[in-house]
Amino acid sequence: MPETDDNFLAQLDDIARILIRERADDASPVIPPTKPGDVGALFESHAPEEGQAWADTLAQIEERVLPHTTRWGHPGFFGYFPAGTSEPAILGELLAAGLGQQGMLWQTSPVCTELETRVMDWLARALGLPERFCAEPIGAAPGVPVGGGVIQGTASEAALCVIAAARDRALNRLPEGERWPTRCVVYTSEQSHSSIEKACRVLGPQMVARAVPTDDTLAMDPDALERSIAADVRTQGVVPCCVVATLGTTATCAVDPIEAIGRIAREHHLWAHADAAYMGAQLILPEQRHHAKGVERFDSFTMNPHKWLLVNFDCSALWLSPGARRDLIGTMSITPEYLRTSASDSGSVIDYRDWHVPLGRRFRALKLWMVLRHFGLVGLRSYIQRHLDWAQELVAWLEADKRFEVAFPVESGLVCCALHDDDATRTLMERVNATGEVFLTHCVVPVRGRSRYLVRIAFGNSQTQPSHVQRLFELFDTHAHTP
Ligand code: PLP
């Protein structure tokens, strides 16, 4: 620990200077030239016996840490989906760390709890989600059950919670003697994120993840979903429990038909969950909300402010309908004596420990609140709009050049493209990445019935400017020429 307040302030300055310098640096390569084991070899095998001077630690940060970071904030980082950040988010994270709030119960941090409730309602409304996902719905009659939002670490954790609760909801409908060894089925498209299958695996052999075929746009085929459910309903010892629709699949940003899936889920009493990890941020633009039309029939909805909404990792937003909130708490809540408080017993407060797997929880609402306050919805809308516009601009340039093929209509901030054959596309991506100026990742998906290797270009980085998009296209142009 620093010995004086002045030291602490000076150290904060040192860190701020590093962050400012890093942000301005678009000359260093996006991916460090680090080889496996290089970093481990720089650090001793034991912790120091004596405390070390800040100057030495700072020198080690400069020499041993910074040269080996993957620069997710680099303006040329177009890989995976973005992991955004911003000054208000960094300040919020710092303040939360310093305040050391542990918000497992309302009593252990009233502000961690109540600010989270409030700011999740803000965000639900900012995205145009139904009021039934809010904890304090506008116009609701007193005493009527309400839904609400909770900040999870990741969309994967959100999916795990939701699927566990959906399983229990389905099993609780059965007579007690029939609940085991019944198998519970979760339907999700062949293109959904691996976290859905992982959630089923973690929840044990009782859970089955059923991959539903997709159409030409790689969106879930609702007729195939119907057929799959019907087959399971006819099978002894199998209970359909949940359908997970994706709004913006990881590979290509395909959008599952939310309205049809919600209707089918209702018909068969399935929990409907929407995973909008990346693309959910786009709903901040009213004209983009058609993608989520029908979501009012869903039980739960997730999106990650830590991807495209300028909040640093981790911050994943999960909203629940009133029934889903009740069922999630039913699954997650275990109350040993040492966690009992009079506030909890009164039933008038939220204890967010009952809304996810961990007991302890960070004060993540602070950075989300600070980002929403700093940019305002107007600022966030123009931020997202800019990325959508650049994606369309890039599509136009690619389409005007006969060497390139844009694989799917672009509805979001992700562009997937290819050269005439897979080897050429892979080589193009490797060459462009080798420049260090940009970083792209790939996917392999069916395009018109044929498996294709596609380069993905994901927008959402706060440092990217039009000049970087132009440079990306120049690199494509140059390296597509190279034999
Ligand atoms: N769902 C989708 C559609 C994703 O694209 C991703 C990650 O990119 C995830 C879930 C997992 O996100 P997280 O890292 O928050 O678990």
What CATH number does residue 150 fall under? 3.40.640.10
Q: Give 73-120 pLDDT, tens digit per residue.
A: 999 999 999 999 999 999 999 999 999 999 999 999 999 999 999 999
Mutate to test the pocket of ligand 1, among 80, 188, 193 (most ligand atoms within 8 A of CB): 193
Ligand 1 cavity residues, CB under 6 Å: 81, 154-156, 193, 195, 246, 248-250, 275, 277-278, 304, 316
DSSP assignment letter at 53? P
Mutate to test the pocket of ligand 1, among 275, 291, 316 (most ligand atoms within 8 A of CB): 275
pLDDT of amino acid 2: 52
The rounded distance, in Å, linking the Cα atoms of 303 and 299 is 14
Q: 246: CA distance to ligand 1 center in Å?
A: 10
Q: Give 241-285 pLDDT, tens digit per residue.
A: 999 999 999 999 999 999 999 999 999 999 999 999 999 999 999
Asked if pLDDT for residue 1 goes beyond 80, the answer is no
Averaged over 308-330, what is the pLDDT? 98
Q: 255: CA distance to ligand 1 center in Å?
A: 14
Residue owning tokens 């003697």: 177
The rounded distance, in Å, linking the Cα atoms of 171 and 426 is 47
pLDDT of amino acid 155: 97
Residue owning tokens 């941090």: 109
Beta strands in 270-404 (DSSP E): 271-275, 300-303, 316-320
Percent of the chain with pLDDT over 70: 99
Specify the length of the chain in residues: 483
Q: Is residue 475 part of a domain?
A: no
pLDDT of amino acid 313: 96
Cβ proximity of 304 and 277 under 8 Å = yes
The rounded distance, in Å, linking the Cα atoms of 390 and 392 is 5
Q: Is residue 448 part of a domain?
A: no
Task: Tally the C-alpha atoms within 13 A of residue 261's C-alpha that lie toward its C-beta.
Answer: 32
Across the beta sheet with 238-246, the strand order is 148-152, 316-320, 300-303, 271-275, 238-246, 183-189, 207-212
- Which atom of ligand 1 lies at the shortest distance from residue 249's CA? 3
Cβ proximity of 131 and 139 under 8 Å = yes
pLDDT of amino acid 454: 98
Please choose, from the candidates 116, 149, 163, the residue with its C-alpha nearest in 3D space to the C-alpha of residue 331: 163
pLDDT of amino acid 364: 98
The rounded distance, in Å, linking the Cα atoms of 240 and 253 is 26
Averaged over 450-477, what is the pLDDT? 96
Averaged over 428-456, what is the pLDDT? 97
pLDDT of amino acid 151: 98
Asked if pLDDT for residue 328 goes beyond 70, the answer is yes
Q: Give 203-243 pLDDT, tens digit per residue.
A: 999 999 999 999 999 999 999 999 999 999 999 999 999 99
Q: Is residue 299 part of a domain?
A: yes
Q: Is residue 110 part of a domain?
A: yes
Q: Give 370-410 pLDDT, tens digit per residue.
A: 999 999 999 999 999 999 999 999 999 999 999 999 999 99
Residue owning tokens 């959630």: 199
pLDDT of amino acid 171: 95
Q: Is residue 135 part of a domain?
A: yes
Sign of CA dihedral 40, 43, 48, 52: negative
Cβ proximity of 282 and 388 under 8 Å = yes
Q: 336: CA distance to ligand 1 center in Å?
A: 33
- What are the φ and ψ backbone dihedral angles of 313, each rounded to 5 degrees? -60, 135
Q: Is residue 160 part of a domain?
A: yes
Q: 377: CA distance to ligand 1 center in Å?
A: 24
Q: Is residue 376 part of a domain?
A: no
Rg from Cα positions in the chain? 24
Q: 158: CA distance to ligand 1 center in Å?
A: 10
Q: Is residue 239 part of a domain?
A: yes
Amino acid at 426: R
Q: For the chain, what is the domain count?
A: 1
β-pair partners for 417 = 406, 455
Domain of residue 150 covers 101-362
Cβ proximity of 363 and 103 under 8 Å = yes
Q: Give 11-33 pLDDT, tens digit per residue.
A: 999 999 999 999 889 899 999 99
Cα dihedral 371/377/379/380 (nearest 10): 70
pLDDT of amino acid 3: 67
The rounded distance, in Å, linking the Cα atoms of 311 and 301 is 18
Cβ proximity of 231 and 256 under 8 Å = no
Higher pLDDT, 168 or 182: 168
Q: How confident is the model at residue 178 (pLDDT cuts 50, 70, 90)?
A: confident
The pair of three-digit structure tokens given for residue 5, joined into one six-digit string: 């307040």
pLDDT of amino acid 254: 98
The rounded distance, in Å, linking the Cα atoms of 129 and 136 is 13
